[in-house]
Structure 1
Amino acid sequence: MERARMALFAAALAVAAILGLSPPNAEEGGQPRLVLTVEIDGAIGPASARLLEEGLAEAKERKAEAVILQMNTPGGLVTSMREMIAGILASPVPVIGYVAPSGGHAASAGTYILYATHVAAMAPGTNIGAATPVELGGLTPSLPGEDGKDAGKDQKGQQPAPASGDAMTAKITNDAVALIRSLAELRGRNAEWAEKAVREAASLSANAALEQRVIEFVARDTAELLQVSNGRIVEAGGAKRPLATSDAVVEKVEPGWLIELLSVITDPNVAVILMLIGIYGLVFEFSTPGAVAPGVIGTISLLLGLYALNLLPINYAGLGLMLLGLIFLVIEAFNPTVVLGLGGVTAFLLGAAMLLKVDSPGFELSWVVTGSAAALSLGLALLTGSYLWAARRRPSRVGARAMHGLPAEILDWSGGEGHVLAQGERWRARAAESFAPGDTVEVKGVEDLVLQVERRKPGDGERP
């Protein structure tokens, strides 16, 4: 009997080993379980999306138990937000969204991303919401009660109905509502409040979000977050499993040099400055061939600026106007007309106003930068033009015009032509009169590399 019991116990252990069953807090292969942390502090943009993508890939490769996505963001670009949501939904590694530290928030795009995570948590003193989409240069849906009337409600006062002129705003808002409701239904969270956050820009504190089933936990720090998340059943990669995070080792995913570069150059103001440096660097290189440095710096800056703008939702008509304005200013510098200079500044400013399709937090084009760039470009064009104008008024120093009025010495002469010495060089010369070797004459013109000369009048001094 005892032998039978031992055999059954051994068989149970073998089955457990084959199925890979283990208690939630156990270690795998003698190594502690791993949780990776991805921190996003600032606007959601291409750099944020790239950082999360790399974090999820590393978590999958290292077989991490979970990824903590710690956010403190005012929002950002819709394109980057959707990339991050798609990555979270497709990740085989569970993602724990965590709004932290205290005093932080997950507004606008951050709200959608938190709704997409497998587990949502907030630190005390944080808030979430204000997810109304801001697109097309600042169009936002009218909120109930604005302008002293509820023009957006139908006769029953149930659902806001946008005016006919706000069709695009309504389409953007309804698309955002559909997205956040689908995420709420997927994760079993409060879909009604999610829609309210989009339509009415509603916000909640951490405790209120917990009460209204917007999040699952309130945790003071990462250690507490791991404790309260331990054992929670989540579905990731098409399978449900409990989280084993209580004794996990936490490692932070550090952004690489490419992500650091993206976070800098995808600022629209930096991208515009890079384009200016690039264009004027190339102009200086073409105007002074062989300088090398302006051409190298200009080419690199221009390519970086164009790459950054390619990652941003820009209006290509605005970009075209900005480039046209810069071309006008360059032409103005080499051929002063005033009209081209004023037209160039006008085109540059109009293009800057039209450049970005969105007005998202952290991605606004500063008018200080734009105005300064336009003023500097105009100033450079006027300064260069003034130098060119002054150079045109000076006497010619090379060419046929520079020879006019110069003294020359007759070397030999016969039959109305001969050779003269002018500026240390031997020239063929012609004249309507005869001269003797050693006579001094004056150059009156140049025709087919032959000097036209005449007798120098007594008392004429040399031309300075």
Structure 2
Amino acid sequence: IRGIGLAEEHGATACIIEMDTPGGLDSAMRDIVQRILEADVPVVVYVPPGCRAASAGAFITLAAHVAAMAPGTGIGAAHPVALGGEGIDETMEEKVVNDAVAYIISIAEARGRNADWAEAAVRESRSSPASEALELGVIDIMADNLEDLLLQLDGRVVTLLSGEEVTLQTEGAEPNYIDMGAIERFLFTIADPNIAYILLSLGMLGIMLELYNPGTIFPGVVGAICLLLSFYSLGMLPVNYTGVLLIVLAFGLFVAEVFITSHGLLALGGIASLTVGSMTLMGSPYFQINPGVIAGVVIVVSVVCVLVIGAILRTHRRRQQTGREAMVGTVAVARTTLDPTGTVFVHGERWQATVDEGKVEPGEEVVITEVDGLSLRVTKKNRGGE
């Protein structure tokens, strides 16, 4: 859309859009189609070698003033699919399909293209290679490369929405490529299934580490940023929300492992949930996460969680090392006779102590069993002491 605006602003001969897409959101596709139909400059959609114009890409290609494809490319498969990998009821599906059919037929008729093929692309997911698309009147030109396309465009007359007829003069024209801006490149990069998945995992991991150790701040901040970026990425992709919930459940189980004694069952459940959620996160065969990325994330997250959970549990189980409670189990030396009360020496201090049974002579060792205010209860070392 920005490219069309720049072409109009600079009085370009034409705006050529190089297309390579497996599809996308219906709302985004309609915005692009509307902008092409309203353009004050001829818009050419070209599918370069090895690329495709599938699903939403078929609508956009048909909407162009001139539709062109290279040999070895394809177009079609425009049947609507539900986001989230979830099915829709028959009535709703019929409404969605009929709406898409009406839209693509209106586009094809407006450009004088094969409306029957356009309808079949939506209802039957029909696809055609470039040669067949040209023969059926789906596209206007089959060009080997951009230079060949410019040669074939030269002298072609197109009609704009205003009714103005424009004769293209493209022979010898110098293409002016419009690169994405820094923000566009960044957003384009993260709108990738693998990146979105990694951001979601890092976000959940950061939040989880913050919950494990409140006040560390850094993992919480990084996790929140990654989580928000992942929401943007996933919003641009056909996501299976069941997969998202399974991943969230996995991290919930990892957190619960710290507070609930499950002997590792909750952690194992978390690993299983993370694995299944990762494999089902994308709801379209055209958008899939690399299995190697899934394996790497599951292994890294699992190892980090196990190590952190283990460290936390060891800290919770460790005997307190400071304060009066830390004295329990410590060995003291009797300074006076304990019969049953006397004085013992421990940690450089004299304490009043009461022995639980028997009599303790000066110099004998006792084990502290309880701290009661400013006095101790002890037992003889050879009676279950250390």
Could you list the per-position Cα deviations for residues 130-157 of structure 1 after superposition, in whole angstroms to 9, with x for gaps in the alignment?
Answer: 33344456799xxxxxxxxxxxxxxxxx
Corresponding residue for 1:85? 33
- Percentage identity across paired residues of the two chains: 38
CA drift at 1:442: 4.7
Corresponding residue for 1:72? 20
CA drift at 1:265: 1.9
Rounded to whole Å, the distance in 2 between the matches of 1:125 and 1:287 is 54
- Structure 1 282/134 Cα, relative in aligned 2: closer, same or farther at 3 Å? closer
TM-score by length of 1: 0.67
Corresponding residue for 1:106? 53
CA drift at 1:231: 4.4
| Paired residue total | 382
Please give the secondary structure, in 2, of the residue aligned with 1:249.
coil
Give the letter aligned to residue 114 of structure 1: T
Rounded to whole Å, the distance in 1 between the matches of 2:12 and 2:345 is 90
Rounded to whole Å, the distance in 2 between the matches of 1:224 and 1:401 is 86
Higher alpha-carbon Rg = 1
Please give the secondary structure, in 2, of the residue aligned with 1:170.
helix
Could you list the per-position Cα deviations for residues 213-246 of structure 1 after superposition, in whole angstroms to 9, with x for gaps in the alignment?
Answer: 2222233333343343344443445341314432
Alignment of 1:284-433 (within 5 A): 284-288=209-213, 293-314=218-239, 316=241, 318-333=243-258, 335-337=260-262, 338-345=264-271, 347-348=273-274, 351-352=277-278, 355-356=281-282, 358-359=283-284, 361=286, 363-365=287-289, 369-370=293-294, 373-374=297-298, 377-387=301-311, 395-408=319-332, 422-424=346-348, 426=349, 429-431=352-354
Rounded to whole Å, the distance in 2 between the matches of 1:360 and 1:180 is 23
CA drift at 1:287: 3.8
Please give the secondary structure, in 2, of the residue aligned with 1:250.
coil
Rounded to whole Å, the distance in 2 between the matches of 1:115 and 1:427 is 94
Q: Which moved more, 1:60-69 or 1:225-234?
A: 225-234
- Structure 1 330/371 Cα, relative in aligned 2: closer, same or farther at 3 Å? farther
Larger RCO: 1 or 2 (CA < 8 Å, sep 6+) = 1
CA drift at 1:320: 3.5
Corresponding residue for 1:266? 191
Rounded to whole Å, the distance in 2 between the matches of 1:297 and 1:320 is 21
Rounded to whole Å, the distance in 2 between the matches of 1:171 and 1:369 is 38
- Structure 1 360/184 Cα, relative in aligned 2: closer, same or farther at 3 Å? farther
Q: What 5-or-longer segments of structure 1 have no aligned partner?
A: 1-52, 141-163
Contact 1:135 1:359 in 2 (8 A): no
Could you list the per-position Cα deviations for residues 355-379 of structure 1 after superposition, in whole angstroms to 9, with x for gaps in the alignment?
Answer: 55x4152x23456655664565455
Equivalent of 1:223 in 142, 147, 153: 147
Please give the secondary structure, in 2, of the residue aligned with 1:72.
coil
Give the letter aligned to residue 177 of structure 2: K
Please give the secondary structure, in 1, of the residue aligned with 2:44.
strand
Please give the secondary structure, in 1, of the residue aligned with 2:222.
helix
Rounded to whole Å, the distance in 1 between the matches of 2:67 and 2:234 is 33
Please give the secondary structure, in 2, of the residue aligned with 1:65.
coil
Please give the secondary structure, in 2, of the residue aligned with 1:181.
helix
Give the letter aligned to residue 99 of structure 2: D
CA drift at 1:403: 0.8
TM-score by length of 2: 0.78
Please give the secondary structure, in 1, of the residue aligned with 2:176.
strand
Please give the secondary structure, in 1, of the residue aligned with 2:19.
strand
Rounded to whole Å, the distance in 1 between the matches of 2:313 and 2:72 is 65
Contact 2:191 2:237 in 1 (8 A): yes
- Structure 1 197/79 Cα, relative in aligned 2: closer, same or farther at 3 Å? same
Could you list the per-position Cα deviations for residues 236-286 of structure 1 after superposition, in whole angstroms to 9, with x for gaps in the alignment?
Answer: 453413144325431111122323322332223322221221222233345
Corresponding residue for 2:110? 186
- Structure 1 352/228 Cα, relative in aligned 2: closer, same or farther at 3 Å? same
CA drift at 1:385: 4.6
Contact 1:417 1:428 in 2 (8 A): no
Equivalent of 1:447 in 372, 375, 385: 372
Rounded to whole Å, the distance in 2 between the matches of 1:359 and 1:256 is 28
Corresponding residue for 1:254? 179
- Structure 1 418/296 Cα, relative in aligned 2: closer, same or farther at 3 Å? farther
Rounded to whole Å, the distance in 1 between the matches of 2:351 and 2:8 is 86
